[in-house]
Structure 1
Amino acid sequence: MLKLTARQEQILGLIRDAIENTGFPPTRAEIAQSLGFRSANAAEEHLQALARKGVIEISRGTSRGIRLTDSAHDKAGARPAAPLVPAGILQLNLPLLGMVAAGSPILAQEHVTANYTVDPSLFRSRPDFLLKVRGMSMRDAGIMDGDLLAVKKADSAKNGQIVVARLGDDVTVKRYRKVGSLIELLPENPDFEPIQVQPGRDEFALEGVAVGLLRTWN
């Protein structure tokens, strides 16, 4: 790996911190704002330099399409998304959930459609289950239709975290934000509208926070 400049080290650290705190990398605009750049284009130039030096990979077409490579593991303290491997090779066994019935516990046995054994070092903390993503509302966070989201069960979350939430009869994946008593579930795709939740009036529960992503290659 080529030596990084001080600014490149700073940006790599920012990416690391975003992944550690929210499970996902920052956008170009967020990098520019954090570092005082005049435009997202300046952030893009630095990202391209990091990609040339082999510490990140950039996916086209998504604002959060940044992955840390194997060369960056020691610096970043995080693992990139990786394909699944056959069960039995690695040691963490996770249930894959299909359609979740309204009103029943999310980890009820009838929701489990398969089990996968994966490497626990892929995740920033130990997940409890995998949930298959449906739709493209989180596209710009690098979460695509058919991806498997690794989720740690939790009944609370920090602003900015990607969460799995139950809203009425639906289970959804969104970015969490709470201001006062108002909870917002934010998509990462401008084609979708934010969801506003009024605790006590809307039937709402947090099921967990995202701690990683797995992508199957068929």
Structure 2
Amino acid sequence: MEYPSLTTKQQDFFNFLVEYAREYDQWPSHQELMDAFGFKSPRSVTQLYEALIKKHYLVKAEWGEYDFHPVQKFNLLEDEDSEEYGIPIVGLITAGGMQEAVEEDLGRVTLKSILPNYRKMKAVVVSGQSMKEAGINNGDIVLLAQTDIFDGDIGAVRYRGETSLKRIYSTPTGMKLKPANEDFEPIMIEPGEFEEVNIIGKYVGHINEKGLHKV
């Protein structure tokens, strides 16, 4: 997925947030940002935050705090060989009876460990609510893999120059693209139209403000 390009000032601001968060594990204050960029008013900081939210680089949590957009979080972990970045694994915890905590450095959770084949994936942003009963909502970022699709799998399909995310079924009379919302009708495709169908990818998960949801 391609995001809207940032202006030079927006990119510098975003880079500052990334490096600050990595070094201090928290967000800089408005005053620190004003000092770093020579702003005279906190409104300048707020405007840059708003621009990065609009371009899907940041999100604003319910409690008013800023955070990186889930996709940007994964982008920041993209160097799978990095020992510096990622989510630290700090020890073992029992899922049975109580036992003494075992704290040790067991490495880090990286993008590659979460999505081993992520370099062979692509992403699209959902527009509409036809798949809401499958847990996929408007604005979610869907992950697509280049792999075989079986009957009943969710996939992204291009048909007659238009695209759609649906469950794909083979039928005695052709192909059915079925939504996961009773308010929408299925799309029926006859065998003579198969040459107009292109499977873009198989749905393997999606990302929203709550994080990553894998199949």
TM-score normalised per structure 2: 0.45
Pick 1 or 2: higher relative contact order, CA cutoff 8 A, min separation 6: 1
